[in-house]
Structure 1
Amino acid sequence: MLDPVGHLPLFLGATGDLGPWARRRAAVLAVVFAFFILILFGIAGQFLLHAMGISRLSFQIAGGIIRP
């Protein structure tokens, strides 16, 4: 998950030509789509890792190495 305050200028730039209601609708749709994508990967993530032959411990270690 990303920093919402840091991405606010990107959102405002991308929706600069929209009116207030259209901008609100775009924000709500973005949140809804992000929620469903997170739910999908939360449910299917373990199956996906298993299909690729990656253990959960290996994934956690790799995430710990990459994290600054």
Structure 2
Amino acid sequence: MSKEQKEQIATSEAYIQKGIQDAQSIYLFGFVLLLFLGVFKLLIIRFVKNKKKAKKSKNKQSNLRVIK
């Protein structure tokens, strides 16, 4: 192999390694983003349920006051 071919192969391998690193970082970013969104979604669902429960218990208390 000539010197040019060796340099071209080395350059190609460097580009491939850079591409692999970029892909890994993108996958990691996507995974962290999905994890964050999942936790955020669970927190919102819990908050909404607690708010509904509080509203129901408030309605029950006001109904009891009317009955008394």
TM-score, normalised to structure 2's length? 0.42
Q: Which has the higher contact order (CA 8 A, sep 6+)?
A: 1
More helix by share: 2
Which structure: larger Rg?
Answer: 2
TM-score, normalised to structure 1's length? 0.42
